[in-house]
Structure 1
Amino acid sequence: MLYAGFWKRTLAYIIDSLILWFVFLIIGLIWIVIRALGDWVPSPAESSLVSDGSPYIFTMKTIGQTLLNWGAIWLYYALMESSKCKATVGKLALGIVVVDEFNHKLSFGRASARYWSKLISVIILFVGFIMAAFTARKQALHDLIARTYVVDKRELDYILREQAQRGAGM
């Protein structure tokens, strides 16, 4: 099996990050236009919050937006990697997919575990990501935790076709 290496995975991550950034930018611009063109008149409660200038309100909005962004990013990765595509748009662009130990697509739960396990790598100063450059099967820490592999799609398709032909020939 041809496992996807560190640099290919990094480039896929950059592509996915650019896509997500662009989507968030468009949503933000649409939101600004709706607010600017709409007949938005704050209620008395909203007026007091807006004019209050309280750092608490700003902090709560920031935390809420951050959690919303994390949720959207998690759903992007988990839904794409657990779909029949087996990959995010960035991975598909580079011809790599994520599979389990049996070369099957991931369940949504396993794809979610894989995504949230990345937090451990962030906490330990990205060492978990760098592991993909040095492990035999090019697995990062989150792959080891979720028991997943990032592999070349063409080679995987070839192996699965061979297995199907052997199964049909019996």
Structure 2
Amino acid sequence: MTFSGWWRRAAAYLVDSLIAAPFFLGAGLLDGTGNAALYYGLAVLGFVVWGYNRWWRAGRTGQSWGRALLGIRLVGAATERPIGPGRAVLRDLAHLLDDVILYIGYLLPLWTARRQTLADMVTGTVVIR
């Protein structure tokens, strides 16, 4: 099993974020303008796109759009198989732990043997090439 490096993981996350960003930015620009239907519509659409890509698609295949573009997959550390949508949601929530320790958790792949963030360690996942 070849573990993905930090730069490739970061680039994949950037691609995933850029795909959902227009919806959230559009909603942000409409905030306070009185156009509630469009505001909420864009916000919900952004959440649906993010959820489909990061949780449903990545959970079932191991690849979000960004990971597919960069040639990496999210899998269970023990099974080397996709982790499923529920565990993909938990992993994204576990990234809050990476945030709490001053974002150092996101840098752990730079020096850990299995190239894991704190969220990966908690959820038993790895990102492979």
TM-score normalised per structure 2: 0.78
Correspondence list, 1:18-167, <5 A: 18-25=18-25, 35=35, 72=48, 73-74=50-51, 76-84=53-61, 86-100=62-76, 101-152=78-129
Cα distance in structure 2, aligned partners of 1:130 and 1:5:
11
Q: Which runs of 5+ in 2 are unaligned?
A: 30-34
- Cα distance change, pair 111–121 in 1 and its aligned pair in 2 (3 A): same
Cα distance in structure 1, aligned partners of 2:51 and 2:96:
12
- Cα distance change, pair 119–2 in 1 and its aligned pair in 2 (3 A): same
Task: Report the alpha carbon displacement of residue 74 of structure 1 after superposing the two structures with TM.
Answer: 4.8
* RMSD over aligned Cα atoms: 3.4
Task: Report the alpha carbon displacement of residue 109 of structure 1 after superposing the two structures with TM.
Answer: 2.1
Q: Over alpha carbons, which structure has the higher Rg?
A: 1
Moved more, 141-150 or 14-23: 14-23
TM-score normalised per structure 1: 0.60
Report the 3-state secondary structure (helix = DSSP H, G, I; strand = E; otherwise coil) of the residue aligned with 1:77.
Answer: helix
Percent identical residues: 30
Report the 3-state secondary structure (helix = DSSP H, G, I; strand = E; otherwise coil) of the residue aligned with 2:109.
Answer: helix
Over residues 69-120 of structure 1, what are the superposed CA-to-partner deviations in whole Å (9 max), with x where a residue is unaligned? Answer: 9954455411122123x11111110000100121111122211111100011
Report the 3-state secondary structure (helix = DSSP H, G, I; strand = E; otherwise coil) of the residue aligned with 1:83.
Answer: helix
Cα distance in structure 1, aligned partners of 2:116 and 2:64:
17
Aligned to 2:17: 17
Cα distance in structure 1, aligned partners of 2:28 and 2:102:
30
Q: Which runs of 5+ in 1 are unaligned?
A: 30-34, 39-60, 153-170
Report the 3-state secondary structure (helix = DSSP H, G, I; strand = E; otherwise coil) of the residue aligned with 1:150.
Answer: strand
